[in-house]
């Protein structure tokens, strides 16, 4: 990505982030979706803390900051990291010398080039987001972008995606495997049904663990933490390094087991070989799983902290879960009240 475009996006996202935080501090509820924002009953024109004016429109808002105006839309899930050419151009008008785009066409060509190279990705027909990959962006551009919004929306976050798409499945299979293993320990044997489940759960867990390793290495999480995450995430590089060292011990054997598990073969040599060391590789897999669990849990905790500190409440799973529970309580109370009225 062009360094001038990276700086413009960084400054724009920083201004949006600041604006959302000011809105929150001024008592405006931050939505978890664009429709929630659309339905929010606040004056179309108003004033935030420190005399900052705002204009609510459709799915978004225009904020009149002292250094210039910034206009943004909330995404379908409350995202605030979406960008488009028009808003970037509009934002740059009082700062043209900072970015070097003399015409709107020049910015448009640079924007299109980033899309073609894959450093920008269309998240909706009208909005784009910056890819979460240092490999594509380069560490210098990635570091520039980190000073802006700092943390991508959770559904653009490759570490969150690794957790939800790969590790969660591994975790579920491990729980099932442990339940059957405990039953075996208790009874000293398994019936044919539970024997089949034992094999399926054990091999599925190890295979999903292998997929988690592949994602971990493809994303290059250590570089991601250093160059595309706020500084509070840098502490996780130690745990990331520990995982990297663990992976090297038996990753190739695990990969071969995964291939034997999901591809029809006349033999199970790789599976047999994996378990032919008196349980050493199995204990390694458990240790590696625990290391992933610790890393990803702490990452989620840090993202929650970052969302809340920066007023990005629509992205906080903790706050959204609280809202869902409150809604259920209200609905339950309303149903109960309705039932009482009917019986009277």
Q: So where are the chain's domains?
A: 3-153, 157-311
Which residue did the predictor score with more confidence, 318 or 274? 274
Average pLDDT estimate for 31-54: 91
Average pLDDT estimate for 82-87: 90
pLDDT (0 to 100) of residue 267: 67
Element (DSSP H or E) covering residue 60: strand 60-65
Q: Which of 238, 279, 312, 6 is nearest to 139 (CA)?
A: 6
What torsion do the CA atoms of 56, 62, 63, 64 make, to the nearest 10 degrees? -120
CA 194 to chain centre: 36
8 A C-beta contact, residue 5 and residue 110 = yes
Q: What is the distance between the alpha carbons of residues 84 and 86, in angstroms, rounded to a whole number?
A: 6
pLDDT (0 to 100) of residue 148: 66
Choice among 20-24, 167-171, 199-203 with the minimum mean pLDDT = 20-24
Average pLDDT estimate for 167-180: 96
Average pLDDT estimate for 70-74: 93
Average pLDDT estimate for 60-88: 90
Strands 68-73 and 53-57: unpaired
Q: What is the distance between the alpha carbons of residues 304 and 176, in angstroms, rounded to a whole number?
A: 29
Q: What is the distance between the alpha carbons of residues 60 and 73, in angstroms, rounded to a whole number?
A: 4
pLDDT, tens digit, 9 for 90 and up, residues 109-167: 999 999 999 889 888 878 898 888 777 777 777 777 776 667 888 878 899 999 999 99
Tokens of 315: 């992205």
Average pLDDT, the chain: 88
Phi and psi dihedrals of 257, rounded to 5?
-60, -45
**Residue 344's pLDDT band (boundaries 50, 70, 90)?**
low
Looking at the chain, the whole-number percentage of residues with pLDDT higher than 70 is: 96
Tokens of 195: 């024997």
pLDDT at 249 over 80: yes
Q: Which of 335, 338, 336, 300 is nearest to 321 (CA)?
A: 300
**Residue 89's pLDDT band (boundaries 50, 70, 90)?**
very high
Instruction: Tell me the HSE value of 92 on the side-chain side, using a 13 A CA sphere.
Output: 26
Beta pairing partners, 129: 121
């Amino acid at each position: 990505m062009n360094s001038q475009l990276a700086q413009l996006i960084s400054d724009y996202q920083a201004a949006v982030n600041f604006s959302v935080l000011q809105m929150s501090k001024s008592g405006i509820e931050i939505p978890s979706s664009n429709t929630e924002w659309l339905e929010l009953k606040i004056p179309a024109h108003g004033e935030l803390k420190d005399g900052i004016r705002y204009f609510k429109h459709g799915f978004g808002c225009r904020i009149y900051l002292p250094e210039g105006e910034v206009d943004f839309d909330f995404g379908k899930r409350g995202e605030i990291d979406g960008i488009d050419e028009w808003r970037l151009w509009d934002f740059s008008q009082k700062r043209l010398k900072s970015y070097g785009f003399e015409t709107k066409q020049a910015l448009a060509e640079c924007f299109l080039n980033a899309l073609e190279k894959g450093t920008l990705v269309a998240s909706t027909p009208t909005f784009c987001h910056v890819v979460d990959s240092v490999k594509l962006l380069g560490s210098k551009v990635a570091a520039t972008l980190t000073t802006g919004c700092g943390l991508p929306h959770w559904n653009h976050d490759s570490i969150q995606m690794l957790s939800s798409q790969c590790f969660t499945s591994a975790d579920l299979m491990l729980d099932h495997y442990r339940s059957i293993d405990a039953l075996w320990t208790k009874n000293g044997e398994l019936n044919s049904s539970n024997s089949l489940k034992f094999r399926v759960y054990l091999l599925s867990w190890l295979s999903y663990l292998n997929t988690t390793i592949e994602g971990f290495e493809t994303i290059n999480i250590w570089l991601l933490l250093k160059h595309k995450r706020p500084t509070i995430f840098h502490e996780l590089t130690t745990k990331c390094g520990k995982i990297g060292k663990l992976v090297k011990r038996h990753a190739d054997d695990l990969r071969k087991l995964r291939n034997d598990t999901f591809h029809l073969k006349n033999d199970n040599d790789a599976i047999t070989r994996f378990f032919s060391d008196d349980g050493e590789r199995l204990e390694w897999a458990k240790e590696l799983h625990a290391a992933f669990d610790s890393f990803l849990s702490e990452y989620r905790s840090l993202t929650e902290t970052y969302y809340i500190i920066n007023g990005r409440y629509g992205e906080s799973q903790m706050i959204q879960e609280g809202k869902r529970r409150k809604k259920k309580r209200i609905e339950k109370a309303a149903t109960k009240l309705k039932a009482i009225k009917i019986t009277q």
